[in-house]
Structure 1
Amino acid sequence: MPFAAWRAVLPAWIDVQPVELPGHGHRSDEPLQVDMPSLAATLADELASLIDGPYLMLGHSVGGVVALEVAHALVARGLEAPSALITVASTAPSQRAGNPQAQPMSDAELFAELQRLDGTPQVVLDDPELLAMVLPVLRADFLLGERHRPSCREPLPCALHVFGGRDDSIAVGALAAWEMECTGPFRMEMCAGGHFFLHRQRADFLRRLVTLAKAYRPSLASSFLARAGLSHA
């Protein structure tokens, strides 16, 4: 869980709470999720008891959509929306295909996509046994994003900060389209690097993140990070 490592370098007043999805990491004994509403409901139920004040919610790639859906699910449960939603290298929901009948990628298709995104360690790509372990998880993550069809609803009542990679394949317009998802102030920043710039250029990204978070201090109580693995945009 890469986000957990941020705790060692971020200021102590930022309480990082990484979110592990069912079927991932220490939750590997749980079924993988490919239905966004069901996943959002599960995560909202788990996070509800942890929210005791203002918080930020961050998601990378399809995790940005997961974060949005979880935030809506929390609001539906009577909880406050996050002070800000932060999406990183994530295509806006309105710019996604949203095909409920999308089929899982073959091993060859998935392998090619992982190579293109350049975020999976080469040692994993070169090891058939490791690949056999991670491909089902990553395949589900891709399917989660491909099958999700956005709902018609009111925008989330919070600020929205979008980070994009200058070398990522996501079009600037697909990042800017996030603006319609929230009613608060909108800001977009472009960072050096590709789809995984938040890890490859971690120091620069975390510096930007701290600057952003300071705008919500001292009211900020906690910061939740929602992600969906190494999924595509």
Structure 2
Amino acid sequence: MTIIPLTAPIAPSAPYGATLDLLVLPCAGASATMYLRWRRMLPPWVRVVPIELPGRGARCNEPCVRHFDALVTRLCDENAASLRGNFVLLGHSMGALLAYGMALRQRALSRPMPQLLVVSASAAPTCRSPERYASRHDDATLIADLRKQGGTPDEVFAHSDMLRMTLDTLAADYDVCASFPPRETQALALPIHAFGGRHDSIALHDIEQWYHETRGRFSVDWFDGGHFFIREREAEVLAALLQVLSPLAKGVGDAAIAFA
């Protein structure tokens, strides 16, 4: 859950012959750089499209957006060119909630919908407790959360400027999570696939409840590890991801599955 500043925006990878766009959203306190390794680890038919949030990475000079609906609206508008064609939305933790919100907004505006929604390390909308984020803004609490969840390099805690930037971003993202509005909405007409860590503090039941959010197929993969199993078990996660992406890749067929 750390920020890696960049000097230039993250451009989507554009391998020759890509037939599927994978739009990826980061977890709270993080930058879309958390997915950069995937570009060289995934096969050429997947184009990785990192969705950077304001206030971090290449956008570190922009103010953070602290309200869920405002952030979703902005992300959909900024990435409208990528939210079309053969695309998938994937997010980890808070990123999963944002991906879900983007799918809802696309539907509300009659815009193109993703072929698949992949939600990683995130409780289903019906199982969330926004109030748990409302009073977690003091530095001691934020640092304790970072250490408990793991995934933050030790050097972040050792450098005051880097730690300050991380804590400020995390606090803003907690506001985003706290402002996620309870809503009664029709389930999405697209498949949802969930990733969960067996040793994460998020209950397995709460992840499985994502099945309520789809009128299509729901599936889930479990991995050994905590909240950041996505890093701890990266090769396994990507192999599982390819299994659900390959049926969506146009013109790839058996070659996609063979790669995994």
CA distance in 2, matches of 1:81, 1:171: 29
Match of 2:38 in 1: 6
Are residue 193 (structure 1) and residue 225 (structure 2) matched? yes
Q: Secondary structure at the match of 1:30?
A: coil
Higher RCO (Cα < 8 Å, 6 or more apart) = 1
Kindly report the root-mean-square deviation, in angstroms, between the aligned alpha carbons of the 2 structures: 1.8
User: Is residue 2:11 matched to residue 1:15?
Assistant: no
Alignment equivalent of 1:110, drawn from 136, 142, 154: 142
Match of 1:70 among 77, 90, 102: 102
The alignment status of 1:218 with 2:250, answered yes or no, reads yes
**Paired AA for residue 101 in structure 2:** E
Specify whether residues 56 and 108 from structure 1 end up closer, same or farther in structure 2 by C-alpha distance, changes over 3 A only: same
**Could you tell me which residue of structure 1 aligns to residue 5 of structure 2?**
none
Name the counterpart of 1:156. 188
SS at match of 1:161: strand
SS at match of 2:230: helix
2:74 is aligned, of 42, 58, 63, to 42
What amino acid is the match of 1:16?
Answer: V
Q: State TM-score, norm by structure 1.
A: 0.89
Shift, 1:99, TM fit: 3.8
Give the deviation of 1:76 after TM superposition.
Answer: 2.1
- Among candidates 160, 171, 179, match of residue 128 of structure 1: 160
CA contact (8 A) 2:96 2:118 kept: yes
Structure 1 pair 36–219 and aligned structure 2 pair: CA distance change class (3 A): farther
After superposition, the C-alpha distances for 1:97-147 in whole angstroms (9 at most, x for unaligned) are: 134992452000000010000111111112222211211011111221123
- Provide, for residues 58-78 of structure 1, a one-character-per-residue CA deviation record: whole Å limited to 9, x for no partner: 010011110000111122222
In the TM superposition, what is the alpha-carbon distance from 1:47 to its structure 2 partner? 1.8
The code of the aligned residue for 2:79 comes to: L
- Decide whether the 8 Å contact of 1:62 with 1:91 is kept in 2: no
User: What is the aligned residue count?
Assistant: 220
SS in 1 for 2:245: helix
In 2, are the aligned partners of 1:100 and 1:149 still within 8 Å (CA)?
A: no
Unaligned runs of 5+ in 1: 221-233
Aligned residue number for residue 224 of structure 1: none
1:27 aligned residue: 59
Contact 2:134 2:174 (8 Å CA) reproduced: no
Distance 1:154 1:182 in 2: 8
Q: List alignment gaps of at least 5 residues for structure 2.
A: 1-32, 253-260
TM-score in terms of structure 2 length: 0.80
The one of 129, 139, 142 aligned to 2:174: 142
1:93 alignment counterpart: 125
Distance 2:133 2:144 in 1: 22
Distance of 2:161 and 2:54 partners within structure 1: 22
Q: CA deviation at 1:50?
A: 2.1
Q: Distance in 1 between matches of 2:121 and 2:172?
A: 19
How big is each residue's C-alpha offset from its partner over 1:10-33, in whole Å with a ceiling of 9 and x where there is no partner? 011111101001111111121112
